[in-house]
């Protein structure tokens, strides 16, 4: 399957061109995403606007992939799911654990907010602790 990768300011955008994600295609997505995690720009948005069908094994693979990103302090957001795809994730009780947005714009916003959150949590600024002493 053809997978289009676009580089944005804070993330890489991965868009499958085909309409069906099988377990094999999900494995290709994982390989691309693992390379992304090793790059300086390690946040990923997966745009599923073209996808009409997804296998249950692929749903689980994408859920595991999201966790791998968060374990490495990176963002992984899935956007533009059709109601049919949402139902596929929901049937497996995975919908609530995924970082999903209805639009690409909202996915971009989430990546930006998570970047800011990580920067704030990683900062060594303890000014407010000194004032309380």
Beta strands in 8-54 (DSSP E): 12-16, 20-21, 44-47, 53-54
Structure confidence by residue, pLDDT tens digits, 21-75: 999 999 999 999 999 999 999 999 999 999 999 999 999 999 999 999 999 999 9
CA–CA distance, 55 with 85 (Å, rounded to integer): 10
CA-closest candidate to residue 53, choices 21, 94, 17: 21
Helix (H) or strand (E) holding 76: strand 76-79
Structure confidence by residue, pLDDT tens digits, 71-102: 999 999 999 999 999 999 999 999 999 999 99
> Quick one: pLDDT at residue 68?
95
Can you give the pTM of this predicted structure? Answer: 0.88
- Number of domains within the chain: 1
> Quick one: pLDDT at residue 130?
45
Q: Which CATH number belongs to the domain containing residue 106 in this structure?
A: 3.30.750.24
Give me the domain span that covers residue 91.
Answer: 3-131
Q: Please determine, for residue 1, whether its predicted confidence score (pLDDT) is greater than 80.
A: no
Strand partners, 77: 45
> Quick one: pLDDT at residue 124?
59
């Amino acid at each position: 399957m053809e997978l289009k990768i676009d580089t944005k300011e804070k993330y890489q955008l991965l868009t499958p061109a085909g309409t069906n994600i099988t377990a094999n295609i999900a494995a290709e997505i994982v390989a691309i995403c693992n390379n992304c995690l090793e790059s300086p720009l390690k946040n990923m948005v997966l745009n599923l606007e073209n996808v009409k069908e997804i296998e249950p094994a692929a749903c689980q693979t994408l859920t595991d992939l999201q966790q791998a990103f968060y374990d490495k302090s990176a963002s992984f957001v899935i956007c533009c799911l059709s109601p049919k795809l949402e139902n596929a994730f929901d049937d497996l009780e995975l919908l609530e654990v995924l970082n999903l947005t209805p639009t690409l714009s909202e996915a971009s916003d989430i990546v930006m907010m998570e970047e800011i959150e990580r920067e704030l949590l990683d900062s060594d600024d303890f000014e407010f602790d000194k004032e309380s002493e």
